[in-house]
A and B are shown apart, each in its own frame.
Chain A
Amino acid sequence: AAGVIQSPRHLIKEKRETATLKCYPIPRHDTVYWYQQGPGQDPQFLISFYEKMQSDKGSIPDRFSAQQFSDYHSELNMSSLELGDSALYFCATHPGGLSEKLFFGSGTQLSVL
């Protein structure tokens, strides 16, 4: 069965650079969540989209932006990267309505040097 695809799997950037993380939901999943998990930390909610509109916002820095496209994939854009942005970034999706669970991608490991 198709799963949530995140790319790239690993990303290495330098301070002040930009990064774009991509998330491809399972077909017919119209809701996307982004989470950030720092080393040894719990995942923190960043932002979510439903039907291509932002539905909720968490602790997302102003340097980050995200959007959901017409094909329901989502991109998280991160600018002026800082060392503290190094983390595992998860995307999770579900088809809306009553759903058993969020389906998580394998995550993108971002390292800022």
Chain B
Amino acid sequence: EVQLAESGGGLVQPGGSLRLSCAASGFTFSKYWMHWVRQVPGKGLEWISRIKSDGSGATYADSVKGRFTTSRDNVNNTLYLQMDSLRAEDTAVYYCARDGIYVIGSQPFDYWGQGALVTVSS
């Protein structure tokens, strides 16, 4: 069974840092591109980052570029989101999602984690 489980969320002060993890299981993690998507409670979905299957080509939304860094560990099947210089407007639930667009039998954004809440407040 495919599972994605985020961890590392919590309360952080403006200007602070936080690292989210997304533990993957039930599939060959190293074959899949992965994404981070966030959602302000009660609002819509915002894509923030993507990383290719081999860890290269991390790309970011303008709203987080230069402050957030996405990486992955294909040995331990874990995706990371390092968030620095956090702002109040970064407060959201952060989801990791699998992208199977280049994997036969899989689909884009076919599995999502349950999300991790990040609250940026003093």
- Tell whether A pairs with B: no
